[in-house]
Chain A
Amino acid sequence: MTDAISISQAQLRFGETAALDGVSLAIPNGSCFGIVGESGSGKTTLMRAVLGLQKLDRGEIRILGKPLLHGRAALKERAGFIQPIFQDPAASLSPRSRIRTLMDEVGTVLREPLAATHERLHVILNRLGLPPGVVDKYPHEISGGQARRVAIARALLMKPSILIADEPTAGLDVSVQGDLLNLLQDIRRSQHITLVIISHNLAIVRLIAENAAVMRAGKVVEAGEVGSLFGSPQDAYTRELLAAWPSVSAAK
Chain B
Amino acid sequence: MAISLRDLSVDYTLPQGTAHALRGVSLDIRKGQMLGLVGESGSGKSTVAFALMGLLANNARVTSGTATIEGRSFDLTKRNATADLRGRGMAMIFQDPMLSLNPVFTIGTQLCEVLRRRAPGSDRKTRVAMAQDALAKVKLSNPQRRMNQYPHELSGGMRQRVVIAMALLSEPALLIADEPTTALDVTVEAQIMREIIGLRDRIGCAVLLITHSLGLVTEYCDAISVLYAGEKLESGTVKEVQRQPGHPYTRMLFDCEVPIDCERHADASENRFTVIAGELPDPRQRPPGCIFNGRCDVSFEDCAVIDPGDYPIGNHAGHSARCLRLQTP
Chain A residues close to B by CB (< 8 Å): 32, 38-39, 173-179, 181-182, 185, 188-189, 200-204, 206-210, 226-227, 230, 240-242, 244-249, 251-252
Contact = CB atoms under 8 A, between A and B. Distances in A.
A252 B215 CA distance: 15
Nearest to A174: B256
B247 interface: no
Contacts, number: 109
The range of chain B's interface size is 35 or more
13 contacts: A32-B269, A38-B186, A173-B212, A179-B273, A188-B269, A202-B186, A203-B258, A204-B258, A207-B271, A241-B186, A245-B260, A246-B189, A247-B261
A39 B181 CA distance: 13
Given A189-B269, A207-B271, A178 B256 contact: yes
B40 interface: yes
A141 B264 CA distance: 38
Given A178-B256, A248-B257, A207 B268 contact: yes
B185 A207 contact: no
Interface in B202-226: 212-216, 218-220
Contacts of B145: none
B273 A247 contact: no
B260 to A, nearest CB: 5
Nearest to B182: A171
B244 to A, nearest CB: 9
A186 to B, nearest CB: 9
A227 to B, nearest CB: 7
Most buried by B among A38, A189, A206, A240: A206
B243 interface: yes
A115 to B, nearest CB: 32
Contact of A175 (B185, B243, B262, B275): B275
Given A174-B257, A246-B215, A207 B262 contact: yes
B253 interface: yes
Contact of A248 (B193, B215, B268): B215
Nearest to A186: B269
Contacts of B215: 245-248
Interface string B256-282: 111111101000110111111000000
A58 to B, nearest CB: 28
B260 A247 contact: yes
B143 to A, nearest CB: 24
Contact of B264 (A32, A189, A206): A206
A246 B40 CA distance: 18
Contacts of A173: 40-41, 212
Contacts of A252: 239
A178 B275 contact: yes
Given A38-B187, A189-B269, A207 B214 contact: no
A206 B269 CA distance: 11
Contacts of B218: 246-249
Given A175-B275, A245-B260, A251-B239, 18 more contacts: A174-B214, A174-B257, A175-B252, A175-B256, A185-B271, A188-B269, A202-B260, A203-B260, A207-B258, A209-B268, A240-B187, A242-B260, A244-B186, A246-B213, A246-B218, A247-B260, A248-B214, A251-B242
B212 to A, nearest CB: 6
Nearest to B214: A248
Interface string B132-155: 000000000000000000000000
B264 A227 contact: yes
Contacts of B311: none
Contacts of A174: 40, 212, 214, 253, 256-257
A206 B264 CA distance: 8
Contacts of B275: 175-176, 178-179, 182
A177 B275 CA distance: 8
Given A38-B186, A39-B185, A174-B212, A247 B259 contact: yes
